[in-house]
Amino acid sequence: MHGLTVALLILVGVLLFGFVIFFHELGHFLLAKASGIRVNEFALGMGPKLFSFGKGETRYSLRLFPIGGYCAMEGEDEESADERAFSNKAVWRRILVVIAGGLFNIILGFFLMLIVLGQQDTYATTEIAKFAENSRLELAGAQVGDKIVEIDGYAIFTDRDLSFALALANPDSISMKVERDGQKVDLGTFVLNAQEIEDGKRVVSMDFWVQPEQRTFLGLVGRSAADTFSMARMVIESLKGIMTGRFGLNDVAGPVGTAQAISQAAGAGLQEGFLPAVNNIVLMIIMITVNLGIVNLLPLPALDGGRLLFLLWEGITRKPVPQKYEGYVHAAGFFLLMALMAVITFSDILRIIQG
């Protein structure tokens, strides 16, 4: 029965993951329609077509694999004489259509966060409520009532920022700033208690508690926005870590690693009940949708950000890059992206096999 429940939760995770990609394409679709761009097909799912119907100028189709969808616009990748083609619209309209997918992903993250946080009566803050016995943080000069505002140069706004910064910190050398009586106080660099995790790494062991905050409607909306923003900052900080070599291939997950993480989150949540397991999956999906929204807007070929870069160039120079050359760049970028995904997927499988 437990195995069946986990399988059901994994299916929920896969469907939610597909919905994340579908919602991304929905952003492109709605902005294209609002901008007067002809959409030839809007598909839910990928692969072989199960059925479709036409309404107006657009064909809507349901495809076999529930792993996303796509929005096929007239003149998106080729020349077109249609005045309603993507390529024939004003640059600013095309920019709005291109960035809509990523923005919709972030908006989806916000609404999912509302659902998760709306189930809680209180939220954690960054204000220190009390210390454990022989607390290293207290010995470093922190006091009850202090609000932690910076760790190792990383600004702290929410408890998610706090958890993320502590997870990345070196327990043998951590710097921290707090807000006390309206003033910022630098606690300097000090040592915190640590514990060793399964892979042998030493991580910070928290020796303090934070104040809870009671839920209100406005507080829920504000907190959901703040937590979504915190996740966006985590994505950006993680990307910086990859580029600087702080994180290696083993710290990056592809589709297989993501599925494993979803199943692990579901299994951990099941120890408390079915709803906590679903909430764990939704939190994973929030991170995925925010991640997709930000990464897709990076100025890289084959991504929306790459297309955005060409549009910005056209807007500045008043001269578009010939579509065939832009197509070559995106094709090369797509090839490299698929090669990278293959390497990451292989790494995921190897990591799972090796335990």
- Give the amino acid at 93: R
Strand partners, 127: 147
Map tokens 């997918």 to a residue: 101
| DSSP structural state of residue 85 | S
Name, in order, each residue with C-beta under 8 angstroms of 227's C-beta and a sequence gap of 6 or more. 113, 117, 158, 160
3-state secondary structure of 332: helix
Q: Is 131 left (phi over 0), alpha (psi -120 to 50) or beta?
A: beta
Query: For residue 232, how many other CB atoms are within 10 A of its CB?
Result: 17
Among candidate residues 209, 30, 52, 55, the one with its CA nearest the CA of residue 131: 209
What's the CA gap between 114 and 297, in Å, rounded?
24
Is there a contact between 210 and 124 (Cβ–Cβ < 8 Å)? Answer: yes
DSSP string, 283-315: HHHHHHHHHHHHHTTSS-TTSHHHHHHHHHHHH
With helix as H, strand as E and coil as C, how does 190-208 read?
Answer: ECCCEEECCCCCEEECCCE
Q: Which of 25, 74, 76, 150 is catalytic?
A: 25
Map tokens 């010939």 to a residue: 322
Is there a contact between 289 and 113 (Cβ–Cβ < 8 Å)? Answer: no
What's the CA gap between 90 and 95, in Å, rounded?
9
Is there a contact between 348 and 252 (Cβ–Cβ < 8 Å)? Answer: no
| DSSP structural state of residue 8 | H
Clarify whether 74 is annotated catalytic. Answer: no
Query: For residue 215, how many other CB atoms are within 10 A of its CB?
Result: 15
Catalytic residues: 25
